[in-house]
Amino acid sequence: MRDALPLLIKTGFPPLRRGRLETVQANLGYRCNQSCSHCHVAASPRRTEEMAWETMELILRFADRQRVATLDLTGGAPELNPNFRRLVEEARDRGLRVIDRCNLTILNEPGHETLADFLAEHGVEITASLPCYLEKNVDAQRGNGVFASSLAGLRKLNALGYGCPDSGRILNLVYNPIGATLPPNQQQLEADYKEQLATRFGIVFNRLFALANMPIQRFGSQLVSRNEFHDYMRLLKGAHRQDNLAGVMCRTLISVSWHGYVFDCDFNQMLGLPLAGGRTHVERVHLADLLDHDFTDRPIRVADHCYGCTAGQGSSCGGALESRRTFYMEML
C-alpha cells in the first residue's frame, strides 16, 4: 500500500489554535474484529497494539488535573482491550462522560455477550458505525455479514433503552461515504436513516453523524494506488468552508495513542504528526509531561487532510459541523 503522508504535509490549510480542553480521545489499541476498507486506523484482527493499564491510569489523572469533562474511547474496537471495562468504571466513578465508539458487531462476539448490559449499567454513550442502511453497501465496505450482525447489536441496545426517547441512554450512528465523495446533508440523511431503520427493522437511535472519509492510512493508500488521491483532495479543498473552522474537534480535544503519546487529533496520530508547539517539529510528547500543561490558545498542527473536516457541512468526531450548530441553537 502506498503512503499518502508525503502528499499531505505541505499545506495551505488555515492556522488553528485550541480553545478550552474538554475531551480526551484515547485510542485503546488497533485490534478489531473487522477490517473496513475506509478505516483510517488500518485496524484488523491481526493487530496486537493495545494500551496498558498504566497509561489508562495516567489518562484518568490527566483528566482530573485538567478538569476534562469527556473521555472518548476509540480503537480498533476499544472493547477488545482487556482493561476496557475497568477504565469505564473508574472514569464514570470520577463523573466523566464516557463515549464508546462501537462497531456494533463486537456486541455479538464470543466473550462479549454481557457488553451491552455493561455499557447500559454504567451510562456509557454509544457512537456506533453504520455506514448505510442497505445491506449490500455495508457488507461491501465492512465485510460479509456485518450488516446483519450490526442490526443484531442495535436490537440488543434498543432492548436496553438505547436510542429510545427519554431513556437517557444515548445511541448515535455514524455514516461515511463508500468512496471518494462527500457525505450528503446530515439532517436529511438522519431522517432517511430513521425512517428506513424504523420501518424495515424496528430500530431507533438518537442522532446520525455524517463523516467524510479521511485520505490517510488504508483509504489514503487506496486513493494513491488508484490515482484518485489528487482528485479527492481537489474535491475537499474546493468544498472548504472557512466558517467550519470554529467547530472542528481539535479545538477542544487531544488524542492519546495506545502508548501514551499526545496528538492534536486522532487523524494526526495515525499520520505520526506530533503535537504542535513541542520542543521540536518532529518530537513526540508523552502525556506524563503534560499533566499541568495549559492547552488554551496553543497552535494545532495542520496538514492537507484537515480539509476533510471543513469540506461542505464540515465533519468531525461529532458529525457535520453545520448541523451541529443548528441543533445546539434549537436546544437553547
Measured from the Cβ of residue 86, the count of other Cβ atoms closer than 10 Å reads 13
Please give the Cα distance from 163 to 309 (Å, whole number). 26
Residue in the block written with cell 469533562: 69
Express each pLDDT in 249-305 by its tens digit.
999 999 999 999 999 999 999 888 989 865 545 578 999 999 999 999 999 999 999
> Whole-prediction pTM value?
0.89
Q: Enumerate residues 6+ apart whose C-beta is below 8 A from 133.
A: 192, 193, 196, 197, 200
5-331 has CATH 1.10.760 classification = no
Q: For residue 26, what are the β-bridge partners?
A: 73, 256
* Weakly modelled stretches of the chain, pLDDT under 50: 1-2, 280, 314-317, 319, 321, 323-332
Would you list the DSSP string of 161-199?
TTTSTTS---EEEEE--SSSS----HHHHHHHHHHHHHH
